[in-house]
Amino acid sequence: MTGLIWPVWRQHRTAYCVLLALAALSSAWALWQHHTLVTGVHDWAAACRDAACGVLTADSGPADSAQIIQNEAHTALRYLPLAVSALIGAPLFAQDMESGTHRLAWTQSTSRTRWAAAKLGVAALLTAVAALLITAPVTWWWHTIRHGRDESGAVGAAWRAHAPQSDWSFLPYTGPAGIAHLLLALVTGAAVGLLLRRLLPAVAVSAAVTLGVQYALDQLRPHLLTATVTRHAVNVSPASPVNSWHLGQGFARTDGGLTDYVDPCPPSDWAAQLRCEQAHHIAGSYSRYLRPSQLAPLQWLETGICLAAAALLAVLCLYGVRRIRTR
């Protein structure tokens, strides 16, 4: 397979070079945003007049950086797997199948399986390198923000005031999960391209399929681990610990069941409120969340799911190449 690496690289080198260049630029930009955010938060905290920063108007610097991380960066990361699937994965096989150059490759001394494995291997290696360049600084963002919110005094208050409070949505773009998601997107695009054998349809369909896969993983993620349910008095607003993933809240019934938070009792005097709660069998309220300690297990579990799915699709690609008839 060693002799196949160079021709495979040359065939797709433009896309690979663009991928690595964009990943390097994104990494540099992310590192600068990290520096801007940390500097801004500490400068803001240093100017506080009390430990809670309660009497100082927030400076726009750290707030702007936090918004960039929470909104603009999150949107870009959200669609990154679609770009990898459509622009890197889909052409791997579809381009050769459409132009017929796969027949020339198969007439050489290389078997179909080795040819397909070389294509997938080179693309996967370069995608993993690009993913590492992107996810490493994003992971640094994430851990800096999470540890900052746990701090006490003015610095902790500054982090809690400026940094995004619900950041578990960044889990697919950090650590090993960030690399696994992009590898799954790559192999998904390759499998779609092999199935359709036409470049433009493969690009469109692979993006749509990858979007569907991302949506399915988003829906599955909250159910992979057992959530903690904390019960409260009915007149207490449910709260989750710092850095936890708040999954929902609602009312707890007298029979032990839980319902979504739809307040059947409008604010009124205490006696009327009590009668209304008794009539609706409400015994209290609850909040449901994943604890901060569950972050790492969830990330590794999702990484395993993505890598297993990617491996299965890669095997199907190798099998599918062997079944293609040459005319």
Rg (C-alpha) for the chain, rounded Å, is 25
Euclidean distance between the first and the last CA atom of the chain, given in angstroms as a whole number: 25
Provide CB contacts within 8 A for 26, sequence distance 6+. Answer: 133, 134
Q: What is the pTM of this model?
A: 0.82
The model's pLDDT over 48-75, given as tens digits with 9 standing for 90+, comes to 655 555 544 445 456 566 666 666 777 7
CA 147/CA 261 separation, integer angstroms: 31
Residue 252 backbone dihedrals phi, psi, to 5 degrees = -105, 125
Q: What is the pLDDT of residue 35?
A: 81
Tell me the Ramachandran region of residue 293: left when phi exceeds 0, alpha when psi lies from -120 to 50, beta otherwise.
Answer: alpha
Residue 166: name the closest of 95, 97, 240 by CA. Answer: 240
3-state SS string for 60-72:
HHHHHHHHHHHHH
Q: Locate 80 and state its tokens.
A: 């990154």
**The pLDDT value given to residue 260:** 66
Q: Where are the alpha helices (DSSP H) in 100-249?
A: 101-106, 112-150, 153-162, 175-196, 199-220
Q: What angle do CA 246, 247, 250 make, to 5 degrees?
A: 100
Q: Which long-range contacts (CB under 8 A, 24 or more apart) does 304-308 make?
A: 304/180, 305/217, 305/220, 306/177, 306/180, 306/181, 306/183, 306/184, 306/217, 307/180, 307/183, 307/184
Note the pLDDT of residue 60.
46
Span 79-118, pLDDT tens digits: 889 999 998 989 988 888 776 666 556 566 677 788 888 8
Find where tokens 């297993």 sit: 308
Q: Among candidates 294, 33, 19, which has minimal Cα distance to 140?
A: 33
Write phi, then psi, for 118 (nearest 5 degrees): -65, -45
Closest to 243 (Cα-Cα) out of 176, 302, 298, 289: 289
Coil, helix or strand at residue 263: coil
Angle, alpha carbons 102-103-109 (nearest 5°): 95
Q: Which residues lie below 8 Å from residue 136, measured CB to CB, with a gap of 6+?
A: 27
Residue of 219, 183, 155 whose CA lies nearest to 309: 183
Single-letter code of the amino acid located at 80? L
Q: For residue 245, which amino acid is it?
A: W
Half-sphere exposure of 283 (CA within 13 A, CB side): 8
**Helix or strand run (H / E) with residue 8:** helix 2-11
| pLDDT, tens digit only, all 327 positions of the chain | 456 676 767 777 788 888 889 889 888 888 887 888 788 777 777 776 555 555 444 454 565 666 666 667 777 788 889 999 998 989 988 888 776 666 556 566 677 788 888 889 899 999 999 999 988 988 888 888 878 777 777 777 777 777 766 668 788 888 899 999 999 999 999 999 988 888 899 999 999 999 999 999 999 999 999 988 888 776 666 667 777 888 877 777 777 777 765 566 666 665 666 667 667 677 777 888 898 888 889 999 999 999 999 999 999 988 888 776 655
Is residue 309 within 8 Å of residue 232, measured between CB atoms?
Answer: no
Query: What are residue 251's DSSP bridge partners?
Result: 259, 285
Whether the Cβ atoms of residue 199 and residue 90 lie closer than 8 Å to each other: yes
Structure confidence at residue 216 (pLDDT)? 94
DSSP track, 34-88: HHHHHHHHHHHHHT-SSTT-TTSPPPHHHHHHHHIIIIIHHHHHHHHHHHIIIII
